[in-house]
Amino acid sequence: MSSRANFAAAADELATRVLSALRGAEDTAFIARHFHTAPDALAALAAIRVIGADAFTPHVLTGVPFHTEDAAAVAQSFDAFPASVVGSPAPGDGGVVAWRDWATGQLLTRFGGERAPGTDAPPPTAADALTDTGDWQQWSVRMAQLASLATPGLDGPVHEAARGAALSLSRGVTRSLLRRDYSTAVRLIRWLAWLHHEGVALPLDPVTTTEHVRILGGTGPRAAVDLAVARHLLEGQLPQHPQDPEAVRR
């Protein structure tokens, strides 16, 4: 099995653990367990970097304790794949990876871990590409790549752009469904659910659209995580203070 296949399998495995935790079936340090039990340690660390902020969603959305072992595993993933290298904008990237790194670093700090170098501030080089909604087709594709930012507790220029572009995101969902690009539709649905949670009026009914997308294309562990997050946001039953230091279990 190639390294690329190893990395993809490890990312799916971690996403499955995240989904299990969102459903209340994980009560231990699942990120750390993912790393310590993996047959390929480097692939496991790469998976943590790929899943990024989504690894924190069980703690943000359900209030389950975040473990110091998990914080250590996330920090180790940044040591193996530094944000200063992985987050450097590539041609056509528009700073997408840098924004994902920022989101992961913000949540790591919020839940008691040490701040990851290179994630202190929103990436300035990405601002134009990710906040200019004039070309809604290209912009919605980039927003789909940033679905993990559609998480309560994260806020920045990308989120401000999303608040003012509900129509563009809705168009992106509709276009993706017409093109049978269900993976993009699932990620954009998560943004619509986040906007609903924020109290933004939407052109599409997010509940009906989420169920429609789930039936058509909600397959695979990572898509299942996006849909699970969307459902949590639509139901609105989030913990009041998930960021409190007491939420970190040592």
pLDDT at residue 246, as a whole number:
42
Residue 95 near residue 123 (C-beta atoms within 8 A): yes
Name the phi and psi angles at 115, rounded to 5.
Answer: -65, 135
Q: At 248, which helix (H) or strand (E)?
A: strand 248-249
pLDDT at residue 149, as a whole number:
97
Q: Long-range contacts of range 233-238, CB-CB < 8 Å, 24 or more positions apart?
A: 233/61, 233/150, 233/152, 233/190, 233/193, 233/194, 233/196, 233/197, 234/193, 234/196, 234/197, 234/206, 234/207, 234/210, 236/197, 238/60, 238/61, 238/63, 238/152, 238/197
pLDDT at residue 247, as a whole number:
46
The pLDDT averaged over each successive group of 10 residues in the chain (250 residues) is 80 96 81 94 95 95 90 93 62 75 92 75 65 86 96 93 95 95 95 97 95 84 95 84 48
Nearest residue to 190 (alpha-carbon basis) of 213, 220, 157, 168: 213
Q: Find tokens 């898509």 and name the residue.
A: 223
Residue 219 near residue 186 (C-beta atoms within 8 A): no
Structure tokens at 173: 């969902």
Nearest residue to 231 (alpha-carbon basis) of 204, 211, 217, 202: 211
Name the phi and psi angles at 200, rounded to 5.
Answer: -85, 135
